[in-house]
Amino acid sequence: MSKVFSVLFLISLVAYFAFAMAEELLPGFVSDYFNPHLLLIPVLIFLTTALVYEKGEVRMASSGGERLTSKSRKSQSLLIFLAGAITLGILWIGGREIETAWRVLMAVYGGLLVVGILTVLFKE
């Protein structure tokens, strides 16, 4: 399942980017119909779901089917998301001189970098 949600995450991310850039190049092209930044909601939902399923599959694989609900794993995931969210928030506020589409892009990029780096670092 994590693979399915990973693919959905990537598709929604690319779709978000395509619509946001289209709006940037041709103002009103997308926003006449819907706010392209709303696509960030499925992006975040799919990413979170993929992560949750991924964790479950790792647990199953590493324990031969035995359930592992260690406190450290939960706190680890929480810390990764928190760090990503903090970065996203700081960059969003800091980048207020930039137009919205690029501000979102920069903040999401920074957030993803932090989440990516911490995910590799915290992998046991």
Partner 1 sequence: MAFGNSPRLQEPLVIAASARLPYILLGAVVILYGALILYLPFHSPPDIYNSPDEMANAFFIRSVEQDGRLIRPTIQQNLPSVVFPRGVLRQDNAFIPVGFVSFPLLLGIIAKLTSFKGLFYLMAILSALSLLAWYGFLHAFFGARLALLTTFLTAGHPLVLYWSNRPLLPNALFFAFYFFAFYFFSRTFYRPDAGSSRNFYSILAGLVFGLAVAIRPQEGVWLAAVVLLVAVLFQSRSWYPWMIFLITAALPVGGLLAAQKIIYGSASRTGYHLTPPSLTILQTLRRVVLPFGLNIKAIGAVSYSYWIDIIWCFTILSILGLAIVLMYRNGTLLRRLRFWALVLFIVSAWLMVFYGSFAVQDRFDRTVSLGTSFTRYFLPIYVMALPFVAYALFFLRRRFGKILVSAVVVVTVFLSMRAIFWGGDEGFIRIVKALNDNKEVRAKALQILPANAVILTDRSDKIFFPEREIVSQFRKFHHPDFEKLYGLNLYYETIADTDVVAFENDNFWGPHRLKAQDPVDLGYRHKLYKLEELGSRK
Residues in the chain: 124
Least distance (Å) between residue 31 CB and partner 1:
18
Q: In this complex, which beta carbon is closest to partner 1, that of residue 18 or of residue 38?
A: 18
The rounded distance, in Å, linking the Cα atoms of 117 and 119 is 6
CA Rg value for the chain: 17
The rounded distance, in Å, linking the Cα atoms of 60 and 26 is 48
Give the binding site for partner 1 (CB under 8 A). 2-3, 6, 9-10, 13-14, 17, 21, 24-25, 50-51, 54, 57-58, 61-62, 76, 79-80, 82-83, 86-87, 90-91, 94-95, 97-98, 102, 105-106, 108-110, 112-123
